[in-house]
Amino acid sequence: MKITDLKYTVLEGYPTIRIATDTGIYGIAQVEFFKPYLQPVFIFLKDRIIDQDPTNVEHCMLRIRRLGSFKPWGSAVSAIEIALWDIAGKAAGVPVYKLLGGKIRDRVRVYCTDHVLMPPDGSHGAPNYEPEDYARDARQRMTELPEGFTIMKFGLGMDMIHSVPGGVYGDPVEAVKGPHTFRPGRGHLTERGLKHLIACVAAVKDAVGDKIGVAFDCGPRMSLISATKFAKAVEPYDVMWLEDILTGDYTPYNAVEAYHMLSSSTTTPISTGEQVYLRQGFQELIERHAVDIVGPDPCDVGGLAELKWIAEFADLHDVLIAPHGVGDGPVGIAALTQVCATLPQNYLAFELPLLHPNLNSRARKELQYVPSSEKLVEGLPTPLARDSLMEVSDRPGLGVWLNDPAVRKYLGPESNFLD
């Protein structure tokens, strides 16, 4: 079997690839909907895998793995790896988890991230970041989401605290606009800002009690002393983790020493990893116990086998793992389910990707987000999870496939994506 082509398109905002072979078997993968700019990277990598045997996944990866880097530049490499496993599973007639060593669980726990309950028409204005808003969101998730989540994560980072008058010392940092708006730079909390963060944590915990584990995405990134004060202050609330509080999304370094100092000063679990590329990127974080939980994203870290290697290495050091995945799309859900079925017992849950992001009109245009009236990817259950647990598919490959007629209609007659 040989690879004959790699095709790229955007399906409902998700950059999607299809790797074709000379046997008619193909593999698919998607990456975060924040990254519609990746087509040139896929074109760059394509020539390095053409004519290779896709079932020799590691051999193919040795040809391209060194060409990736921290988020977002490892995404294309990661997607190719995932699509290769899809082909290998289909060729062998087995699910991907069989090729990764076999499953140790039939259902995998998933957790709910934020942004789930924004207005579906994307008409939301400036987000509200008051404690009562967090409490209301928490109650809505408990009553309105069918998945029965036992872990929920809420955004509580510097983007939020910049909206609190007098919450941060120093000049406000201008937001960098684009497909994924963010604020670069650090922030040092004022007393008012710290109290506001603590009040938001307290409001969520009051709303959910001890029935649901609560985590907070705090990144990036506040000063070390601010992070230390906050982490110690919320110890009585028994939160599951504080994520990316020092580094995180689109940060090309790990700040291992700072994370080690933070984790050593508090009993509140500290997590990072969604931006990190390859096992080497996690080595020092894990060996030094700089964090309590790692959160690699399979669509950024280098793929499924890379994530499994990291999980096994973390387990040796008594570090937990909760894979990231908020923007990875329907194929990303399938990929996460397959690999998480094989992870050791340090596994907590994976972040269930959003299938239909709620975006305003500007973001929809920049992300090439056009929803379809038909399901473009088949094979996922409805609802995706029950009691926060997702069934592991036994179908060959990733267990999902493209709805070809719907995809052809969606892309239009000029597209050759399926040819």
Where are the chain's structural domains? 3-95+402-411, 99-396
Task: Give the CATH number of domain 3-95+402-411.
Answer: 3.30.390.10
The predicted pLDDT at position 95 comes to: 99
Instruction: Give the CATH superfamily of 99-396.
Output: Enolase-like C-terminal domain (3.20.20.120)
The predicted pLDDT at position 411 comes to: 97
The predicted pLDDT at position 360 comes to: 75
C-alpha atoms less than 13 angstroms from C-alpha of 333 in its C-beta half-sphere: 27
- The per-residue pLDDT for range 224-283, each reduced to its tens digit, is 999 999 999 999 999 999 999 999 888 999 999 999 999 999 999 999 999 999 999 999
Are residues 306 and 277 in contact, defined by beta-carbon separation less than 8 angstroms? Answer: no
For 50, residues 6+ apart whose C-beta sits below 8 A from its C-beta are 3, 4, 5, 6
- The per-residue pLDDT for range 154-168, each reduced to its tens digit, is 999 887 887 788 998
Provide the mean pLDDT of the chain: 93
The predicted pLDDT at position 362 comes to: 78
Are residues 330 and 324 in contact, defined by beta-carbon separation less than 8 angstroms? Answer: no
Question: Which residues does the chain have with pLDDT short of 50?
Answer: 116-126
Q: Which residues pair with 378 in a beta bridge?
A: 401
